[in-house]
Amino acid sequence: MSDMSSIELAVFAWVAEVAGGKIVSRVKASGGNRRQSWAVDVETPGGVRLALMLRFDPRPDEPGAEPWTIEREAAVFRAIRDIPIRVPKYVGFNAQLRAVLTDRATGVAELRHLKDDTQKQHIARQFMADLATLHRWPTEGVALEASVKSPRIADHIVNELDIWEAMYREVGSSDPLLEFAFLWLRKHVPQTDRAPVLTHGDAGPGNFMYDKGELTALIDWEFAHLGDPMDDLAWFSMRCVMEPVPDYFDALRCYEEAVCAPIDRDSLLYHRVLVSTRVVVIRHRAFAGEPAHAIVSRGLNRRLLVEALAAASGSETAFPEPPASPETALTALYDKVIGDLGNVIVPKSTDKAVIAAAKNAAKVVKYLKAIDRFGPDTERIERDELEALLGSRPATVDQGQADLCVALKAGDVSFEAALRYFAGAGVRGAQLSAEASGSIAGRHYISI
Instruction: State yes or no: pLDDT of 1 exceeds 60.
Output: no
Over pLDDT 70: what percentage of the chain?
Answer: 98
Task: State the architecture of 111-287 in CATH terms.
Answer: Alpha-Beta Complex (3.90)
Is residue 185 within 8 A of residue 75, CB to CB? The reply is no
As annotated, the residues of the chain forming the CATH 3.90.1200.10 domain(s) are: 111-287
Question: Which residues of the chain are in CATH 3.30.200.20 domains?
Answer: 6-103
DSSP structure class, residue 445: P
Counting Cβ atoms within 10 Å, is residue 98 exposed (0-12), middle (13-18) or buried (19+)? buried
Q: Is residue 204 a contact partner of residue 123, using CB atoms and an 8 Å limit?
A: no
3-class SS of residue 425: helix
Which CATH number is correct for 6-103, 3.30.479.30, 3.30.200.20, 3.90.1300.10, 1.20.120.1750?
A: 3.30.200.20
For residues 17-43, give the mean pLDDT: 87
3-state helix, strand, coil in the chain (%, to 5): 55, 10, 35
Distance CA 29, CA 306 (A): 35
pLDDT class of 174 with cuts at 50, 70, 90:
very high
Kindly tell me if the per-residue pLDDT of 32 is higher than 50. Answer: no
Say if residue 109's pLDDT is above 80.
yes
Continuous H helices in 286-330: 291-313
Tell me how far apart the alpha carbons of residues 263 and 136 are, in angstroms, rounded to a whole number.
Answer: 14
pTM of the model: 0.94
Evaluate if residue 33 carries a pLDDT over 60. no
For CA atoms 205, 206, 212, 217, the dihedral sign is: negative
Higher pLDDT, 219 or 59: 219
Backbone angles phi, psi at 74, to 5 degrees: -65, -40
The pLDDT value recorded for residue 34 is 63
What b/e sequence results for 245-257 when a residue is b if at least 16 CB atoms lie within 10 Å of its CB, and e otherwise?
beebeebbebbee
> Which tens digit of pLDDT belongs to each residue from 198-212?
999 999 999 999 999
Neighbours of 304 (CB within 10 A): 24
- Beta strand spans in 31-139 (E): 36-43, 49-56, 90-94, 99-103
